Structure formats: C-alpha cells, structure tokens
C-alpha cells in the first residue's frame, strides 16, 4: 500500500461513514490502521490533506456575492411568472454531450410515444366518422380526407418492402427487415382508389398503452417489390409482435428514417407472412 492507496481508502471510509454504505471491508479497515501505525509520516500527510481541504473549501466559498443580484432576480422571476410548459427542451437531460448526439433508448421511446399520441389524436376525429370496415367507394371518398389530415409533416416518407427475401415465412420475432424508401406519397395517393380495405383498430402495447390506428390493405400489385433496385440505400428496422384486443396479431415494425432522422413505424398483420397480402398501417412520426 502506498500513500495514494491510503488516501483512496480513506475516501472510501469517509463515504462509508457519511452514507452508511458498506464499501470498505473490515479487513481493509484493519489494514488501514496497520499501515498508519507503520508509517507515522502518512498520518502527517493525511492531516496536511485535511488542512488543505478546509482551506480549499473556505477559499472556494469566500467569494462575495454582490448585493442586489438576488433582488434583481426576484423581480425578473416575477415578470416571467406566467407558466410556460411548452418549453420541452432537454435541458435536464443529464446525458453527456456525446450521447446526446445519438438518441438514447429512453428518448426514442419518448419520441415514439409522442408520435403515437400526436398521430392518434389527429386521426381520432377522422376515425370516429368511419365504420369499422369501409367499401372501396367509401375509401375513395375518405382517403383525400385522410391525406388532408396527414400533412407532409406527418408523412415525410413512405416505405415499401423492397425484398421478400428477408421476410421469412416463419417467425418474424427479432428478425430484421430491410426497407427502401422508394414508394413515394404521391404514388401511394394515386392508388388510393384501389385500397381493398380500410379498418379502424386498436392494439395494446406491452406497457399497457392502447393505441388506435388505421389499417389499410394494399393490393400486392401496387407494391413494386422488385421494381426499384436502384432506389435509395436500404435501412433496417426492428420488429415486435403485439396482439390487438380483437385477437389480431400485429407485427410492429419500427425504423428510423435516415433522411429525416425521424422514427417511423408500420403495423403488419402477422398472419400475412408474405408480401402477397400485405396490410400496411402507416404511422409516421412527425418529428
């Protein structure tokens, strides 16, 4: 043991005494006493350190606080006393700067929840006017309203499954699917009249949150699965299973749009395990 080890042990012991958290073993404590008795000069060093600590504390705290500063602040606080809960900046996010650049899992979940709430809220009014199943004619009639509600901000990018090779017939759980952003909103909109089905549904997340959604069945022919090999580079998504109260199992696919850095998700009924009958719910994050 050297003087640094001793200091370290003393720090730990001080912490233990202050907070009652046992981090120094009885053996270590005995060793500390032995070392101090063997090296009386270390005891002097420790005393010198204690003295330095006191001097340092006094020196750091001896700055004079200007008079009037506190009163000015109180006046300022009164002026700005109106509540402002809109400021949702992440000032209190105590992640180090390096991790702030990459959204943390908690933050992604937060964005995901916020996106759900916003979209569901904006869609709710529209959904309340729908019957559970619509005819093609009704869809044709209602789709423009849907897109009116879903502004470009809400629907920054559409996606299409680019390859069925990575979409196995078996279990999708934990599999990763590659997508390409080659299915533009304009194209999707132009095929609106051909949607086979348009249903309102809800599902409950594993955290117990019920999400309402809009399920749109798209004819396979309108998904140009193999037709856009030169589309933008693929990116990957995660997939999870959720069960709706009505017994429908949905594969919820989430991904981050690399262009807008937004989180998107898409629900696909798990029963349709191939692209032949793809029902797609489009939920796009407005962030």
Partner 1 sequence: MSEASSQPEIRQLVVEHYEMLYRFAWRLSGSKEDAEDLTQQTFLTAQRKLHQLQDPGAVKSWLCTILRHLFFRTNQPKQTSLDLVPELDVVSSDGDGLDTFDSEALQAALDDLPEDFRTPILLFYMGDFSYTEIAEQMEIPLGTVMSRLARGREHLKQKLITRGFIETPH
Q: Which two tokens stand for residue 232?
A: 């933008």
Residue 86 or 226 having the CB closest to partner 1: 86
Region from 10-18, 166-174, 243-251, 266-274 binding partner 1, contact rule CB under 8 A? 10-18
Residues 6+ apart with CB under 8 A from 121: none
**Nearest approach, Cβ of residue 115 and partner 1 (Å):** 21
Residues 95-134 that bind partner 1 (CB under 8 A): 95-97
Interaction of residue 73 with partner 1, rule CB under 8 A? yes
User: Which long-range contacts does 228-232 make (Cβ < 8 Å, 24+ apart)?
Assistant: 228/160, 228/162, 228/180, 228/182, 231/162, 231/180, 231/181, 231/182, 232/180, 232/181, 232/182, 232/259
**Per-residue CA distances from 106 to 5, 96, 98, 247, 259 (Å):** 38, 14, 16, 29, 21
Site for partner 1 contains 7 (CB under 8 A): yes
The one among 22, 25, 27, 69 contacting partner 1 by CB under 8 A = 69
Asked if 4 touches partner 1 (CB under 8 A), the answer is yes
Using the contact rule CB under 8 A, the part of the chain among 67-75, 166-174, 180-188, 246-254 near partner 1 is 67-75
Question: Which residue in 228, 242, 285 sits closest to 108, CA to CA?
Answer: 285
Q: CA 124, CA 130: separation in Å to the nearest integer?
A: 10
What residues from 31 to 50 belong to the interface with partner 1 (CB under 8 A)?
A: 45, 48-49
Quick check: 57 binds partner 1 (CB under 8 A)?
yes
55 binds partner 1 (CB under 8 A): yes
Q: Which is nearer to partner 1, 81 or 221 (CB)?
A: 81
* Closest approach of partner 1 to the CB of residue 287, in Å: 21
Q: Report which DSSP code applies to 161.
A: E
CB 269 within 8 A of CB 242: no
The alpha carbons of the chain give a radius of gyration, in whole angstroms, of 30
Q: How far is CA 211 from the centre of its chain?
A: 17
Stretch that binds partner 1, among 91-99, 101-109, 147-155, 190-198 (CB under 8 A): 91-99
Residues within the interface to partner 1 (CB under 8 A): 4, 7-8, 11-12, 15, 18-19, 21, 23, 45, 48-49, 51-66, 69-70, 72-74, 76-77, 80-81, 83-85, 87, 91-92, 94-97
């Amino acid at each position: 043991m050297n003087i640094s080890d001793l200091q370290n042990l003393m720090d730990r012991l001080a912490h233990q005494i202050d907070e009652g958290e046992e981090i120094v073993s009885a053996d270590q404590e005995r060793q500390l006493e032995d070392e101090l008795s063997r090296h009386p000069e270390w005891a002097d060093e420790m005393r010198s350190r204690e003295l330095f600590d006191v001097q340092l504390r006094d020196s750091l705290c001896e700055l004079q606080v200007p008079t009037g500063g506190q009163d000015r602040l109180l006046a300022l606080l009164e002026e700005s006393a109106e509540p402002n809960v809109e400021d949702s900046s992440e000032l209190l996010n105590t992640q180090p700067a390096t991790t702030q650049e990459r959204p943390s899992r908690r933050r992604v979940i937060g964005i995901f929840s916020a996106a759900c709430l916003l979209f569901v809220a904006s869609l709710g009014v529209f959904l309340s006017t729908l019957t559970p199943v619509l005819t093609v004619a009704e869809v044709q009639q209602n789709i423009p309203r849907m897109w009116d509600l879903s502004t470009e901000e809400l629907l920054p990018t559409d996606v299409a499954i680019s390859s069925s090779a990575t979409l196995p017939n078996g279990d999708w759980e934990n599999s990763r699917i590659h997508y390409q952003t080659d299915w533009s909103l304009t194209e999707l909109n132009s095929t609106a009249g051909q949607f086979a089905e348009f249903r309102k549904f809800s599902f409950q997340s594993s955290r117990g949150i019920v999400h309402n959604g809009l399920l749109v069945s798209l004819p396979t022919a309108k998904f140009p699965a193999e037709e856009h090999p030169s589309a933008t580079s693929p990116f990957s998504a995660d997939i999870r299973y959720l069960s709706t109260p009505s017994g429908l199992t949905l594969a919820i696919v989430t991904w981050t749009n690399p262009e807008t850095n937004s989180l998107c998700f898409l629900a696909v009924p798990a029963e349709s395990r191939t692209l032949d009958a793809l029902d797609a719910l489009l939920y796009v994050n407005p962030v």
